[in-house]
Structure 1
Amino acid sequence: MNKAALSNKDIQYRDFALNGNLWKVTFQVGFPLALYQSLNMIFKILDTMMAAYIGGSSVSAVAYLSQINLMISAIGGGLAIGGSLKISSAYGAGDYEMVKKRVSSLFGMCTFLGMAVLLIILPFTKQFLAFANTPDELIELGSKYFSIELISMVIMFFNNVYIAIERSRGNSKRILYLNTVVIVVKLGLTALCVYILRTDITMIAVATLVSQFLFFMIAIKNMNVKDNAFGFSLKSMTFQKEVIQPMVSISFPVIVERAAFQLGKVVVNAMSGVYGSLTVGALGISNNIGGLTTSHQSGVQEGGAAVISQNLGAGKVQRALDAFKCVLAYNLVIGILGLILTTVYMEQISFLFANNVNGVDRSFQELIMKVYHYESLGGCIPLGINAAVVALLFGFGYTKHTLFLNFSRVFLFRIPILWGLQNFTDLGSESVGIVMMASNILVSLLSVVVGISVIRRICREYNVKFRLI
């Protein structure tokens, strides 16, 4: 076996991805990732519920500070997505030596990135939170929480790269199994700290750190495969232009897009703070409830993007376009089911978040329901369409277009509309729900326009035809 060979399992999956039934391929790759994403969202929801048990201010602190963490983690997440797409492309093209170089070099870039984040932000946590316009009460309550979460986030840089690599080789089930183990550990530790030891939110962050470190150790073990193309090798790590530049070029717009999107959400949270910290908490909870649907769609999106990239790398452009249609169909079904189920059981779901150590906070429950009512209408189905278009754009390398879409979503369709509602209406806290609905619908309509334009360009460039049905 040469130093960049494939295992029998990887050879079989490559043949399946390039020649198998596309509905089955998309399902087999996308749905374990959808379950993985939904488990992550359920984990976030349970985490929020436990923080809510401590008190309303605690859940608001977790909701607000989590958005800031997500803004920073977008850097590592964007790098992982861009790198994995180029790994998938090399895998589809059969260039296994390049696969190994990109896998190893991606981990090298992640190391430098993580060190930079810790050195720049960790010593100045309170100042950084103040710069992010965090309310003083939340800084006092959650600065230690944020510091520990920051360390966890750097470990997650590596974990996200590992997940992206496994995704590029179609190993979705392994991602699902590992994530299940980590979530069980995380929730078990959090429940121990909140319900038995009665600690504050700092120990919730400690539980996250322990669980992510466990995932990191498992990832190191699985990547220590000497001769496999998908194994890490220090000798294969290189910063040569032909290895690094394609990954950086496709990753940079994704990094900017995700960081800008999360920054926009931080700004929206800060603007929502004029209605009180409980409105911030209700908005965060509403986002999490909506994530029960959109997380599934994101999983299908990620799996679909990998399948599209693999087939494009193998020169099968028509098949890559057909994979997009599968992603779109699956996401529409998920969106319809999600809208129905969350609407029917909204009262029961919101009750879980409004129940704390002092009993049920009915006003907080009603606020959650009011915000989510609007968000569900603009999120479940429209964002499923948006996710399918993003899969197409990622798979074909049009990451600058995804930057345009998410920038528009927040800075054109969300922040200005919220500003207008706050300054020219007296709707109050209801405004945050309305703006979520409006921005999600508008960006989905824009993604349809962008998707049609890109598909026409692909058809002209590669001389292929596209029919939606």
Structure 2
Amino acid sequence: MNDGLSSKDSQRRLFVLEDNMWKVILSISIPLAIYNGFNHLFTVLDTFMASQISSNVVSAVTYLSQIKTMFTAIGTGLSVSGGIIIARCYGAGEIEKAKKYVNTLFFMATSLALLLLIVIIPCTKPILKLANTPSALIEVGSHYFIIEISVMVSMFINNVYIAVEKAKGNTKIILYLNLLVIMVKLSLTALFIYVFHWGITAMAIATLISHSILTIIAIMDMLRGDNIFRLSKENIDVSWAFINPIIILAAPIFFERFAFSFGKVIVNSMSASYGVMVVGALGISNHISGIITGLGNGFQDGEASIISQNIGNKNYERAIDGFKKTLIINITIALVGFIVMSIFMDPIIRLFSKGDIQFAKEIKNIFKYERYAFITLAMSAAVMGLLYGLGYTRLALVINFIRL
């Protein structure tokens, strides 16, 4: 088959389709799991640095981040659905078709991000009020929110680039690039807060700079002459017949992520009635839990790509085997995580309470119950990876709405 694949890409494709499944899952998913785990760990450290400013800043970051996630769900839906289709074409050896989907996906993601910016930024305060954001948090974080929303353009492009590399099974580069983003973000945040003593807006600037670096790298890579999926306007196809499969798969994923984030916004809004401190405590508990659940989500992402490629190549039994093995790995991670977090719960919480006994108590009251969800979330991640890999995004939507 004259598919234009490089020797390395061809070997990676055959590895996913034919090699030992345990080896494939660990090779593809471990870099994604490490990235997710580190991402949540550094989010925790980011929250820790925010706590050095004030508990109100922690609450603002927590509250506004969930509102932002509601909007970024559009980009997530596009990248996940596009990644599924690209992986399926890649597994089937339909490289020219995959090229068209890659280019069209980049065009759609960039256009939608710019459109959202034009709509959201002028309406920042009305949107925050509509989300029932406490006035104290609007005052503290409105400029922070505007900059975070501006990051969406980079995030949409980056998510598509990551989806393309994931579809190719090239997850190591995803790990390295995202660790670069995390380290730049963390270093700049530390510099802005501890050295320059700037406020919450500086944290958003650090996010903007770090994600922009990845965007520049992604665009440069996608413009390389030897890249099989090189960006080219000739390969953009926005005809309804071509983009319809993307939208059909993306819509349920978008509504699922949007609804889940909206649910968290509602929970934050209800918890705000107990005081701004409780909002911050809830956010910290979520971030600590995310270190463990993020590992499982990394295996979910790898699983979906592996299943998509094998379904494209009609390796149906092998695809199901990928799900079974991912489920075993995720449950193991959750059990170990539960034990470790239970043992070190108090020392971890003390890192964020800044000597505030009441704040520490609020965090513990939430986290001691939240840790029990590790097992069920691990199982859910494996099931979602299977459904995404099979393209059953509508069923995934129904299940997640029930969970919500």
TM-score (norm 2): 0.98
Equivalent residue number for residue 127 of structure 1: 126
Q: Which runs of 5+ in 1 are unaligned?
A: 411-469
Is 1:349 matched with 2:348?
yes
Which AA in structure 2 matches 1:388? A
**How far apart, in 1, do the equivalents of 2:402 and 2:153 lie?**
28
Equivalent residue number for residue 235 of structure 2: 236
Equivalent residue number for residue 287 of structure 2: 288
**How far apart, in 1, do the equivalents of 2:322 and 2:232 lie?**
33
**How far apart, in 1, do the equivalents of 2:14 and 2:222 lie?**
23
Which AA in structure 1 matches 2:368? H
**How far apart, in 1, do the equivalents of 2:167 and 2:36 lie?**
16
Q: How does 1:364-375 map to 2 (within 5 A)?
A: 364-375=359-370
Residues 226 and 233, structure 1, Cα contact 8 Å, conserved in 2: no
Secondary structure of the residue aligned to 1:380 is helix
Equivalent residue number for residue 296 of structure 2: 297
How far has the Cα of 1:152 moved from its partner? 0.9
Equivalent residue number for residue 273 of structure 2: 274
Q: How does 1:212-251 map to 2 (within 5 A)?
A: 212-226=211-225, 228-251=227-250
Is 1:255 matched with 2:250?
no
Is 1:85 matched with 2:84?
yes
**How far apart, in 2, do the equivalents of 1:54 and 1:409 lie?**
35
Equivalent residue number for residue 453 of structure 1: none
Equivalent residue number for residue 196 of structure 2: 197
How far has the Cα of 1:183 moved from its partner? 1.2
Task: Identify which of 392, 395, 399 aligns with 1:401.
Answer: 395
How far has the Cα of 1:244 moved from its partner? 1.5
Q: How does 1:40-439 map to 2 (within 5 A)?
A: 40-226=39-225, 228-355=227-354, 360-377=355-372, 379-410=373-404
Equivalent residue number for residue 413 of structure 1: none
How far has the Cα of 1:241 moved from its partner? 3.7
How far has the Cα of 1:268 moved from its partner? 0.8
**How far apart, in 1, do the equivalents of 2:226 and 2:364 lie?**
54
**How far apart, in 1, do the equivalents of 2:327 and 2:230 lie?**
33
- Provide the alpha-carbon RMSD of the alignment: 1.2
Percent identity of paired positions between Structure 1 and Structure 2 = 47
**How far apart, in 2, do the equivalents of 1:157 and 1:402 lie?**
22
**How far apart, in 2, do the equivalents of 1:369 and 1:258 lie?**
27
Residues 110 and 157, structure 1, Cα contact 8 Å, conserved in 2: yes
**How far apart, in 2, do the equivalents of 1:234 and 1:5 lie?**
19
Secondary structure of the residue aligned to 2:235 is coil
Residues 89 and 310, structure 1, Cα contact 8 Å, conserved in 2: yes
How far has the Cα of 1:382 moved from its partner? 0.9
Residues 182 and 214, structure 1, Cα contact 8 Å, conserved in 2: yes
Write out per-residue CA displacement over residues 39-72 of structure 1, whole angstroms, 9 at most, x where no aligned residue: 2111211111111110111100000000101111
**How far apart, in 1, do the equivalents of 2:239 and 2:27 lie?**
35
Larger RCO: 1 or 2 (CA < 8 Å, sep 6+): 2
Residues 290 and 376, structure 1, Cα contact 8 Å, conserved in 2: yes
Write out per-residue CA displacement over residues 211-232 of structure 1, whole angstroms, 9 at most, x where no aligned residue: 0100100111111133543222
Count matched residues.
Answer: 404
**How far apart, in 2, do the equivalents of 1:135 and 1:153 lie?**
24
Residues 221 and 227, structure 2, Cα contact 8 Å, conserved in 1: no
Which AA in structure 2 matches 1:402? A
Residues 331 and 388, structure 1, Cα contact 8 Å, conserved in 2: yes
